[in-house]
Structure 1
Amino acid sequence: MERIEGSGASQLVQLIRAIGYNSDITIELATVTAEPPELKIKVDHMNVELEKDDLIVAQSLTKYKRKVNLKSEGGTEISVTNLNPMAPPFKFDPGAIFVGQGTINFSGININSANQTIKEAELEFIDELKKDDRVIVVGINQGQTYIILDRAVMY
């Protein structure tokens, strides 16, 4: 690199121009034109649609499952839908003792002062990309591949 001359501000500008510009990576906005599994997007400044073979998608924008541990302290509310609409309503009596066999249908239970721990629960994330979603993309390999980083939201 040759010697940079001028004032401090001028030297800084020249230095940024010399090493600060990276033409290998571009950050763009795009619109989803077709949903997965046949994902397509249209980058704002391009006239063509990019197909799934040209795209890498962040996992958070796909349908996926994760294992988690859940912990609740100081109260939990659990609600369950009655699967038998013909069954009479059930009132929960915490002092009741149930003997025998059968099924109890209920619409909810409140455990106001209980701590709850669920180990190795599975969460399924289903909010994958939809048509017309705006996304933030990064072009790499001279624009041959695009990485979809996240949805773009404007307020």
Structure 2
Amino acid sequence: MERIEGSGASQLVQLIRAIGYNSDVSIELATVTSAPPELKIKVDHMNVELEKDDLIVAESLTKHKRTINLKSSGGTKISASSPPLPAPPTGLKVGVTMVQMPPGPHDHPLSFTSLDLSDADQTVEEAELEFVDELKKDDRVLVAGIQQGQFYIILDRAVMY
């Protein structure tokens, strides 16, 4: 590249003209025509479907697991949705009390219908979180065409309001 001369603004304009336009990448909208594992998409304004061999998919759009640490300060609410828990008898507030059990076999497990931790701080370390919301048929997606359209990267779902 030759030396760029002129004022700072002029140099910036010349630099943008020299390297700013990148025809190797194009951003397009597409529609998922077949869900994984046989993923296919149709890019708007193209007459062909692209198959999974032509696609690179962002991990956030796949089923995947992550290891996380969770921390809650000042209160936590825990509830069960399946199966539904039976209602406690009227006037009964269920709590957990630590009790030292005498030695011997214990066949009565602790059970409760709710747990109130409204004033408790909670920390969960090294928990596994599984994401299951992968691409579905008819999802609209943003794709980046690279290497003159030889491959497409599915970047994210496209949402319009």
SS at match of 1:149: strand
Query: Which residue matches 1:154?
Result: 160
Deviates more, 1:111-120 or 1:18-27: 18-27
Q: For residue 131 of structure 1, what is the aligned residue in structure 2? A: 137
The 3 A distance-change label for structure 1 pair 116 and 96 is: closer
Check whether the contact 2:94–2:114 (CA below 8 A) recurs between aligned residues: no
CA contact (8 A) 2:94 2:115 kept: no
Q: Spell out, residue by residue over 1:12-53, the C-alpha distance to the aligned partner (whole angstroms, 9 max, x if none).
A: 777644432211111111011100111000000110000000
> Matches of residues 5-154 of structure 1 in structure 2 within 5 Å?
16-81=16-81, 83=83, 89=88, 91-94=92-95, 100-154=106-160
Distance 1:47 1:102, change over 3 A: same
Percent identity over the alignment? 67
- Alpha-carbon spacing, 1:18–1:78, altered in 2? closer, same or farther (3 Å): same
Alignment RMSD: 3.2
> Post-superposition shift, 1:141?
1.2
Which digits, 9 at most, give the CA deviation of each residue in 1:108-148, with x for residues without a partner? 21111111111100000011111111111001111010000
Structure 2 stretches of 5 or more lacking a match? none
Residue 95 (structure 1) shift:
7.2
In 1, are the aligned partners of 2:30 and 2:42 still within 8 Å (CA)? yes
CA deviations 1:68-113 (Å, max 9, x no partner) are: 011111011111357587x774644437677653244443211111
Runs of at least 5 residues in structure 1 that lack an aligned partner in the other structure? none
C-alpha contact (below 8 Å) 1:81/1:107 kept by paired residues: no
Distance (whole Å) between structure 2 residues aligned to residue 69 and residue 55 of structure 1: 32
**Larger displacement relative to structure 2 (58-67 or 14-23):** 14-23
**In the superposition, relative to structure 1, how do residues 82 and 107 fare at CA in structure 2: closer, same or farther (>3 Å)?**
farther
Do 2:87 and 2:113's aligned partners in 1 also have CA atoms closer than 8 Å?
no
Count of residues in Structure 1 that have an aligned counterpart in Structure 2: 154
Using the alignment, how far apart are the partners of 1:40 and 1:95 within structure 2? 52
Taking a change above 3 Å as real, the CA distance of residues 128 and 15 of structure 1, as seen in their structure-2 partners, is same
Cα separation, 1, equivalents of 2:159 and 2:49: 21
- Checking the alignment, whether the CA contact within 8 Å between 1:31 and 1:42 is kept in structure 2 is yes
Report the TM-score when normalising by structure 1. 0.80
Deviation at 1:3, TM superposition (A): 9.4
8 Å contact kept, 1:84–1:105? no
